Amino acid sequence: MKIIFLSLFCFFLSFNLFSQVNFTDDIKSLNPQKNTIVFSKNKYFLISKKNLPKNEKKVKIIKKLTDNFLIIRLEDDENGEVFSSKLYEINDNWKLSKSIKGLLESKKNQEVLISVKTTDRKKFLSELISREISCKLINSYKNTINIKLNSSDLSRISALSSCTFLDVVKIPKPETIPFEKVDLSINNVYLLQHNFSLLTGENINVSVKELLFDVDDIDFRNRIRSYGNEANDITNHATIMASIIGGAGNRSSDSQGIAYLSGLSSSDFTSLLPDEDLFYSTNNVFVQNHSYGTDIESFYGTQANAYDQSVIENPSLLHVFSSGNDGELASTDGTYQGIDGYANMTGNFKMAKNVLLVGGVDESLTVNSRSSKGPTYDGRIKPELVAHGPEGTSDAAAVVSGISGLLQQQYKAQNGEYPRASLVKSLLIAGADDVGEEGIDFKSGYGNVNAYKSGLILDRNQFIVDEVVNSQTKDFTINVSSPLKELKVALVWSDIPANVDDVTALVNDIDLELVKDATTWLPWVLDASPASNSLESPAVRGEDHINNTELITIENPEIGAYTVRVTGNSITSSKQTFSIAYYFKEKDQFKWNFPTASDALQSAQTERISWENNFDFPVTAIEYSLNNGNWQAIDGTANLTSNFFEWNLPDSSGVMQLRALINGNYYVSDTFAVSPVIVPKVDYNCNESVQFSWDEVANATAYEVSILGEKYLVPYQNQTQLTIEIPKTTLELPFVSITPIFNSLKGKQGQTIDYTFQGVNCYYRNFFAFLNDNDVVSATLNLSTLTNVNAVFFERISEGNITVIDEINLPSSELLTANDSDVPGGEILYRARIVLNNGTEILSDEVQIDFPFNNSLSIYPNPVIKSEGMFVFSRGNNLTAQVVDTSGRIMYSTILNKVRQTLAIPKLNSGLYFVQILNKGNLLAVKKVIIVGK
């Protein structure tokens, strides 16, 4: 017994004690076998790394259980041989995810959707047929297949030789957000667009992977590319994401997205696998946004593997994911289980190396508590970046997708081809601004995206794309020719996929160094040990062997030449392509980021103004000048340590400038416009034309009238008048916007209205008539404008005869009324006739009033619900109404005082009755009624 115990102890001691893998679930035999079996390509074995044969090409590593133990099989072109190393027999438990094991333990028989990683897709499907396993193929990507089957067949699936991993496919859900406008100035989108005005997203295609967005939204007009992989259901969340990325701004300035001339497409996210490679390459889709998640998952699953492969197959394709909105929770499994606030990204696809994960910051550049944080299951830095997400990370990801599209457009204009995804990631990381605690961290990654700085890096060609082979070192020189506050160098490469469920994901390892003279700087690394105090520790310099992204920064670097050194530390493929971007943060510089001359602010609203101050002195005051007037101090701006300020603008309009005081010197902004948002009013909507009017904006020199064209709002006319009549032959679509102009600067874009939805007809809004309690018909006309209105006539039409019941000349109010106290019996029509100054007559809608003749009787409703009573409609003098049962008894009697009178009958039983009216005892009319109810 002691000998057996000692053998067991030595066996388990040989394994990595820190491993998450429970080997007792996987091992069939504790005794390793050597030279006793045929190592078949259809069987899997456990082996220690030290026992791998020297000719590793004979075996295929299927999974790294730990750094020291692997699961292997023979390569497919080998038939089998006696193996000379120690092998452990292994069962199929290693193929099962935690979710699958839970299903099997529950022993519930149910239909499930599972994801299968196979060695060969065709072989797997063939095995399904040969074993007569009933299932439904849902979709696939490469050798990953999603199938639906009965849970009782899971063990049969895992036993197939071509199956290497099984997992339950989770139901994706958008990471929903309450609608709050994303402020694009926080990520310097407006600054990028102002300085690089040609960056509009034109000829760039962006895919939004989730449910379908509103294809009828005018902000996407004629720019939607349909490829047949869209979902059927439309959601507001998807519409918001598409608007942030590429909204045209046709509705308002708030609806203009980042790449506002881009093409937009949608892809259904229910499969949770990438689209086919041909979808991306054939349609030139090189940015795909993923603002959704599942549960917190901490392992490298089939989806993570598939997305890494998707980027390898499509090197210019950038998948942008939201990190998730579970940032306050803890993972329930894996290395970081139970640690609140960390390792809580939603979905194993977010464990992929080659995708870009984005967290969210608020207006104060604080990472939202709900924003999911890193590290990944193996300690990598995710999310890599953050962006403005008012309530979550969905919109933050959309912001980065839009910015990435602009960078792709910029690179293609400069180089004639689309950039590699690794280059776009390096541009974003090198250009990002540090937020929160100093340095990189597991909350904000490498910082808050700064679109302008990333565009500047690209414009100045401060990037490198090259490749290395194993053990090769390459040097590149960058020159610092003027004083800098900071030098940043970011290295990114798209790594080949790891095996599904590997203990660590990195395969090809590249090292980055920055060298000047005798000094070497290493990348920043974080302590990924599973404890809160470790995960919150500041970054230190060191070698990074887990991330495929590395960053080196130097504060106040000396002037001179620096060597960027890249080494292929461990490259298992033939070569590894990499991208480097570097940014020079200039010293003793001040720049206004927002607003620029291209931006217009809204009067009497709170606007976030921002700047970059690279002096060693703070901003001590901010002042503004309106319409070239005196400079006025903005309250609360003394000793500003942040590079932004929330400003409550005055209720004024015109042109404005800002200036910041730093160490006795003023730094003046561009001149920009301030105005209210004009909401046009429809004066009339006639057959041939529509007239619009609007309130005057102080100091405006003109107004730009815009109409919706084929895709975008286009200027129709500039004028000084406050009204405009537009022929309907010009208005192919019913959308119009009015924007004030201050000399050469446009004010805040006006609200676009659909004139058909404003409730306005030709010179009037509505007309209605009704019989009031005094037996008088009251008619009301609501004019839409008094302009050109000479007179209004209220008319009654009875038996073809038209009678004017009232005439109002030169009306002074838009709301007009008239009464008719001499109403004849029968079907009476009422209308209004509007006469314009030029003699044109406009007739309103007609309203019918049914008025009884003398001594007639109408009853409604019929049948009568007893608790509600009945209406008696009659006309005459000294009339009495009686309710009589079928035996002739008078059950109810009352005097009729009005043409329309209610009879309350709560004491009558249900049944048939007669209602009759009499005049001084003489019967005038009788009607049958049925009374129902209790």
pLDDT tens-place string over residues 796-844: 999 889 999 999 999 999 999 999 988 888 889 999 999 999 999 999 9
User: 738-783: per-residue pLDDT in tens?
Assistant: 999 999 999 999 999 999 999 999 999 999 998 886 778 999 999 9
Q: Answer yes or no: is pLDDT of 38 > 60.
A: no
Q: Give residue 4's pLDDT band: very low, low, confident or very high (50, 70, 90).
A: very low
Q: Answer yes or no: is pLDDT of 185 > 70.
A: yes
Report the 10 Å Cβ neighbour count for 33: 15
- CA nearest to 610, candidates 246, 253, 365, 244: 365
Q: Answer yes or no: is pLDDT of 9 > 50.
A: no
Buried b or exposed e, range 284-322, using 16+ CB within 10 angstroms: ebbbbbbbbbbbbbbbbbbbbbbbbbbbbebbbbbbbbb
Q: What percent of the chain has pLDDT over 70?
A: 93
- With vertex at residue 797, the alpha carbon angle to CA 794 and CA 800, rounded to the nearest 5 degrees, is 145
Q: Answer yes or no: is pLDDT of 442 > 60.
A: yes
Q: Residue 174: what pLDDT?
A: 87
CA separation for the pair 202, 204 (Å, rounded): 5
Q: Answer yes or no: is pLDDT of 83 > 70.
A: no
Q: Answer yes or no: is pLDDT of 399 > 90.
A: yes
CA separation for the pair 537, 551 (Å, rounded): 17
Q: Residue 920: what pLDDT?
A: 84
What's the whole-number mean pLDDT along residues 152-156? Answer: 93
Buried b or exposed e, range 378-392, using 16+ CB within 10 angstroms: bbbbbbbbbbbbbbb
User: 854-899: per-residue pLDDT in tens?
Assistant: 778 888 788 998 888 888 888 777 889 999 998 889 888 898 888 8
Report the 10 Å Cβ neighbour count for 927: 15
Q: Answer yes or no: is pLDDT of 1 > 50.
A: no
Run of H or E residues at 553? strand 549-555
The three-state secondary structure class of 9 is helix
Q: Residue 78: what pLDDT?
A: 53
**How far apart are the two ends of the chain, measured CA to CA in Å?**
88
Q: Residue 428: what pLDDT?
A: 98
- With vertex at residue 238, the alpha carbon angle to CA 368 and CA 311, rounded to the nearest 5 degrees, is 80
CA separation for the pair 528, 505 (Å, rounded): 15
What's the whole-number mean pLDDT along residues 141-151? Answer: 95
Q: How does the average pLDDT of the chain come out, rounded?
A: 91
Q: Give residue 785's pLDDT band: very low, low, confident or very high (50, 70, 90).
A: very high
Q: Residue 76: what pLDDT?
A: 59
Question: What is the distance, to the nearest Å, from the Cα of residue 894 to the centroid of all Cα atoms in its chain?
Answer: 67
Question: What is the distance, to the nearest Å, from the Cα of residue 209 to the centroid of all Cα atoms in its chain?
Answer: 10
| Domain ranges, ordered by start, for the chain | 25-91, 98-169, 184-585, 589-675, 681-754, 764-851, 856-932
CA separation for the pair 394, 320 (Å, rounded): 10
The three-state secondary structure class of 49 is helix
Q: Residue 17: what pLDDT?
A: 33
Q: Give residue 575's pLDDT band: very low, low, confident or very high (50, 70, 90).
A: very high
| Topology match between the domains 681-754 and 764-851 | yes
CA separation for the pair 483, 589 (Å, rounded): 11
| Residue corresponding to tokens 């009624």 | 929
User: 208-220: per-residue pLDDT in tens?
Assistant: 999 999 999 999 9
Q: Answer yes or no: is pLDDT of 2 > 60.
A: no
Q: Answer yes or no: is pLDDT of 10 > 50.
A: no
Run of H or E residues at 603? none
Q: Answer yes or no: is pLDDT of 3 > 80.
A: no
Amino acid at 310: S
Contacts of 889 (CB under 8 A, 6+ apart): none
| Residue of higher predicted confidence among 146 and 53 | 146
Q: Residue 858: what pLDDT?
A: 83
CATH superfamily of 856-932: Macroglobulin (MG2) domain (2.60.40.1930)
Least confident of 27-41, 156-170, 400-414: 27-41
Q: At what angle do helices 394-415 and 451-459 cross, to 10 degrees?
A: 10
User: 592-603: per-residue pLDDT in tens?
Assistant: 999 999 999 999
What is each CA distance from 572 to 46, 278, 498, 785, in whole angstroms?
21, 27, 11, 77
Q: Residue 745: what pLDDT?
A: 97
Q: Give residue 27's pLDDT band: very low, low, confident or very high (50, 70, 90).
A: low
Sign of CA dihedral 629, 634, 639, 641: negative
- With vertex at residue 637, the alpha carbon angle to CA 634 and CA 638, rounded to the nearest 5 degrees, is 125
Q: Which neighbouring-strand residues pair with 96? A: 166
CA separation for the pair 412, 180 (Å, rounded): 33
Question: What is the distance, to the nearest Å, from the Cα of residue 825 to the centroid of all Cα atoms in its chain?
Answer: 62
Beta-sheet pairing, 665-668 with 654-662:
antiparallel
Q: Residue 60: what pLDDT?
A: 86
Report the 10 Å Cβ neighbour count for 419: 26
Looking at CATH, the fold of the domain delimited by 681-754 is given as: Immunoglobulin-like (2.60.40)
Alpha carbon dihedral 191, 193, 194, 197, in 10-degree steps, equals 160
Sign of CA dihedral 256, 259, 263, 266: negative
CA separation for the pair 310, 880 (Å, rounded): 87
Give me the half-sphere count of Cα atoms (radius 13 Å) on the Cβ side of residue 905: 33
What's the whole-number mean pLDDT along residues 420-434? Answer: 98
Sign of CA dihedral 789, 793, 797, 803: negative
Q: What are the structure tokens assigned to 624, written together?
A: 């503004």
Q: Answer yes or no: is pLDDT of 370 > 80.
A: yes
User: 492-509: per-residue pLDDT in tens?
Assistant: 999 999 999 999 999 999
Q: What are the structure tokens assigned to 817, written together?
A: 């009324």
Q: Give residue 179's pLDDT band: very low, low, confident or very high (50, 70, 90).
A: low
Alpha carbon dihedral 370, 371, 374, 377, in 10-degree steps, equals 70
DSSP assignments along 812-881, one per residue:
SSSEEEEEE--PPSEEEEEEEEEEETTS-EEE---EEEEEPPTT-EEEESSSEETTT-EEEEE--SSEEE
Q: Residue 32: what pLDDT?
A: 64
What's the whole-number mean pLDDT along residues 618-627? Answer: 95
Give me the half-sphere count of Cα atoms (radius 13 Å) on the Cβ side of residue 273: 24
Looking at CATH, the fold of the domain delimited by 589-675 is given as: Immunoglobulin-like (2.60.40)
What's the whole-number mean pLDDT along residues 207-233? Answer: 95
Q: What percent of the chain has pLDDT over 90?
A: 78
| Residue of higher predicted confidence among 12 and 96 | 96
Q: Give residue 41's pLDDT band: very low, low, confident or very high (50, 70, 90).
A: low
8 Å CB contact between 334 and 299:
yes
Run of H or E residues at 62? strand 59-64
Q: Answer yes or no: is pLDDT of 19 > 70.
A: no
CA separation for the pair 409, 680 (Å, rounded): 36
The three-state secondary structure class of 4 is helix
Q: Give residue 73's pLDDT band: very low, low, confident or very high (50, 70, 90).
A: confident
Buried b or exposed e, range 613-648, using 16+ CB within 10 angstroms: bbeeeebebbbbbbeeeeeeebeebeebeebbbebe
- CA nearest to 603, candidates 733, 493, 748, 485: 748
Q: Answer yes or no: is pLDDT of 714 > 70.
A: yes
The three-state secondary structure class of 735 is strand
8 Å CB contact between 660 and 666:
yes
What's the whole-number mean pLDDT along residues 107-123? Answer: 93
Three-state helix/strand/coil letters over 362-410: CCCCCECCCCCCCCCCCCCCCCCEEEECCCCCHHHHHHHHHHHHHHHHH
Report the 10 Å Cβ neighbour count for 231: 17
- CA nearest to 724, candidates 708, 705, 711: 705
Looking at CATH, the fold of the domain delimited by 184-585 is given as: Rossmann fold (3.40.50)
DSSP assignments along 749-761, one per residue:
PPPPEEGGGS---
Q: Residue 29: what pLDDT?
A: 59
Report the 10 Å Cβ neighbour count for 916: 17
Q: Answer yes or no: is pLDDT of 723 > 90.
A: yes
Q: Residue 561: what pLDDT?
A: 97
Q: Residue 854: what pLDDT?
A: 79
Q: Give residue 26's pLDDT band: very low, low, confident or very high (50, 70, 90).
A: low
Which of the listed CATH numbers 3.40.50.150, 2.60.40.10, 2.60.120.330, 3.30.70.260 matches domain 764-851?
2.60.40.10
Amino acid at 699: N
User: 671-710: per-residue pLDDT in tens?
Assistant: 999 999 999 999 999 999 999 999 999 999 999 999 999 9
Q: Residue 685: what pLDDT?
A: 96
8 Å CB contact between 335 and 298:
yes
Looking at CATH, the fold of the domain delimited by 98-169 is given as: Alpha-Beta Plaits (3.30.70)
Give me the half-sphere count of Cα atoms (radius 13 Å) on the Cβ side of residue 18: 8
Report the 10 Å Cβ neighbour count for 262: 28
DSSP assignments along 263-328, one per residue:
EEEEE--TT-SPPPHHHHHHTTEEEEEE-EE-SB--S--HHHHHHHHHHHHSTT-EEEEE--S-TT
What's the whole-number mean pLDDT along residues 434-440? Answer: 94
Q: Residue 258: what pLDDT?
A: 98
From the number of C-beta atoms within 10 Å of its C-beta (0-12, 13-18, 19+), residue 667 rates as middle
What's the whole-number mean pLDDT along residues 458-478? Answer: 98
pTM of the predicted model as reported, rounded to 2 decimal places: 0.89
